[in-house]
Amino acid sequence: MSAPTAPTRPVTIVPMRRRHLRGVLRIERHSVHARWSTGLFLNELAGTNRCYVVALDDAARSTTRAVVGFAGLLCTGPDAHVTTIAVHPDARRAHIGTRLLLVLATEARRRGAEAMTLEVAASNAAAVALYECFGFQVEGVRAGYYAELGEDALVLWMSDLAGDAAGRRLAAIAAGLDPALHTEELIG
């Protein structure tokens, strides 16, 4: 199954840098889960086995307000873990989350990961549907994981990340996105 081809918003996805953190933290303020601090993001950015990216609104790329989404990845051995992914509420439903996850999955494959995992609030049906398009499957539940919400987390895995089927899924998702997407080379 590929991601739907609804209207998109032109964005450029680039590696997250310290200069992006003001915009990232603006998005975090809209988050319903425990918010990450500047210090936590800086620690994550310093890690060599991590990849953090931001989506910049192509209409306003010169300001920190241009950050409309962000995502992070931790690679350890054969596994990749999506540590965070968020899109500003005003930019949702424009496939920015799809684009961010596609960049992370592609980067995880490039780094040799064989599987990819993440946690998502059990009530977040839109996110679960997106992850299922990528081939993630619910493998477990973490009771009370989102304590601030009083909610469980679903633990999802894409166990075939390194395989041909996953490659075809990712290619199909990419093909369904507006070609206005420009992704910078990720070095990490």
Among residues 44, 107, 131, 146, the one annotated as catalytic is 131
Domains of the chain: 11-183 (3.40.630.30)
Q: What are phi and psi of 177, to 5 degrees?
A: -95, 150
Q: What pLDDT digit, counting tens, does each position of 55-93 carry?
A: 988 776 555 458 999 999 999 999 999 999 999 988 888
Q: Catalytic: 52? A: no
Q: Catalytic: 119? A: yes
* Residue 180's pLDDT band (cuts 50, 70, 90): low
- Return the H-helix or E-strand segment holding 26: helix 21-28
Among residues 44, 52, 119, 146, the one annotated as catalytic is 119
Q: What pLDDT digit, counting tens, does each position of 12-44 carry?
A: 899 999 999 999 999 988 876 778 888 889 889
* Residue 149's pLDDT band (cuts 50, 70, 90): confident
Longest dimension (CA), the chain: 42
- Alpha-carbon Rg for the chain, nearest whole angstrom, is 15
State residue 2's pLDDT score: 45
| DSSP assignments along 93-108, one per residue | TSSHHHHHHHHHHHHH
* Nearest to 39, CA basis, from 18, 53, 59: 18
| pLDDT surpasses 80 at 179 | no
List Cβ neighbours of 53 (8 Å cut-off, separation of 6 or more). 13, 14, 15, 16, 70, 71, 72, 100, 103, 104, 186
Q: What is the mean pLDDT of residues 164-182?
A: 86
State residue 30's pLDDT score: 84
